[in-house]
Amino acid sequence: MLDKALILLIKKELKKIKTRYEEKYGAVIFDVKAKSFNGVIVLDGVVLSEKQKNEVFLATKEIIKNSKVENKIKVLSDSKNKLEIGWGVITAEVADIWAKLSDKKNIIGKTRASQALKGDFVRILARKGNWRLAQTCDLAIGWINKYQVSSIKYQVSDKKWIKGKRAKKNEILRIRLTKDVQKKFICFLKKYLNSRYLLGGMTERGIDCSGLAQKFYSDIFGILLPRHSGDQALCGEKIEPGAAHFGDLVFLRRRASKQAHIGVVIKKNQKSIPITRDKNQNLGDFLVLSAMRESGGVVIENLSEILKYYNLISIKRIISSC
């Protein structure tokens, strides 16, 4: 059996991790226990995200060094685990989803994680005062005011919860493109072009870059992208910049602030940028649709202009016609 002192060290580390998440998010789902069984450390319980699960595992390995660790922690945000405490449907026209509760009085913080629309189904993961921790079909998680969501007594089927096919991680999704893609794209531009920039926004009244990319794929192709750019970057396959075409996602990072940004390739111009020693310029000139904080809203710009302020991280292909 492992030394009791090691178990105590692990428990102290788990408490530190939990406290840090509570300070960051105001309320946290983090219920992890560690025990020794036949010389093996067994981690069991529930956390909110895969990131937290991995953090606990690595922290435990660091303490016990060469001893074996069995990770039985379940991730609440993984819908396959079916650990929700209930289901709800959005009753407000637009419900803000907030990233944190700012203190013990359940006052909402200032960071908007996303938005949900009337009629959307959500998994209810936790309750705290007047707030509900909810997950939307695009796997975004945050706090919704209980007066904007109504509890329902039955479990929603995946078919009702997910609207369209999910984009796949590290894989191009083969779909049959319809003839009205161009018509849908024009309608999309009429709806969102010049909409104001709103962090976490998901409507034509205000939208952010990852929200626009998600709406682009759902409205035009019927494909569901994850809500946030970090998760979107895991989808599809990386392609060479010169091969980019309509619908490919461009991932960037602003030089001054290191802030991530995402846009959608909508057209390749005939004129190419001369090849230079700057790796960001070694590519063709594309028109990119994005919601830019600097421009105040949804704009179409040449990629060459964007690269004056941003570094190109990657270009990902999400779909291909079959």
pLDDT of amino acid 283: 52
pLDDT of amino acid 279: 45
| 271 in the same domain as 226 | yes
| 93 in the same domain as 35 | no
| 258 in the same domain as 135 | no
In the predicted model, what is the mean pLDDT of residues 145-173?
Answer: 90
| 53 in the same domain as 91 | no
pLDDT of amino acid 108: 55
pLDDT of amino acid 107: 54
| 178 in the same domain as 258 | yes
Is pLDDT above 70 for 67? Answer: yes
Q: Which structural domain, as residue segments, surrounds residue 198?
A: 165-321
Residue among 237, 230, 238 at smallest CA distance from 261 = 230
Last residue in a domain, options 145, 161, 177: 161
Mean pLDDT of the chain: 86
pLDDT of amino acid 51: 86
> pLDDT per residue over 290-311, tens digit each?
999 888 999 999 998 898 889 9
Last residue in a domain, options 36, 53, 78: 78
**Which of 4-13, 169-178, 183-192, 280-289 ranks highest by mean pLDDT?**
183-192
Is pLDDT above 90 for 202? Answer: yes
- CATH number of the CATH domain containing 31: 3.30.70
| 152 in the same domain as 189 | no
> pLDDT per residue over 74-94, tens digit each?
998 887 778 888 999 999 999
pLDDT of amino acid 193: 95
Q: How far apart are CA 122 and CA 152, in angstroms?
A: 10
Dihedral (C-alpha) 230, 236, 239, 244: value to the nearest 10 degrees? -90
* Token representation of residue 52: 């937290």
Is pLDDT above 70 for 152? Answer: yes
Rg (CA), the chain: 22
Proportion of the chain above pLDDT 90, given as a percent: 52
pLDDT of amino acid 222: 93
| 297 in the same domain as 252 | yes
| 89 in the same domain as 48 | no
Q: Which residue has the higher pLDDT, 109 or 262?
A: 262
| 257 in the same domain as 190 | yes
- CATH number of the CATH domain containing 139: 2.30.30.40
pLDDT of amino acid 27: 67
| 172 in the same domain as 202 | yes
Residue among 305, 273, 303 at smallest CA distance from 289 = 303
The answer to whether the CB of 292 falls within 8 A of the CB of 213 is no
Sign of the CA dihedral running 256, 258, 264, 266: positive
| 277 in the same domain as 155 | no
> pLDDT per residue over 203-223, tens digit each?
999 999 999 999 999 999 999
Q: How far apart are CA 245 and CA 50, in angstroms?
A: 33
Last residue in a domain, options 78, 107, 139: 78
3 state SS of 60: helix
> pLDDT per residue over 249-276, tens digit each?
999 999 878 889 999 999 865 443 333 3
Is pLDDT above 80 for 278? Answer: no
Place of tokens 């750019």: 229
3 state SS of 97: strand
pLDDT of amino acid 26: 66
Q: How many domains does the chain have?
A: 3
> pLDDT per residue over 14-49, tens digit each?
999 998 887 776 667 888 999 888 878 899 999 888
- Helix (H) / strand (E) element for 265: namely strand 260-272
| 125 in the same domain as 69 | no
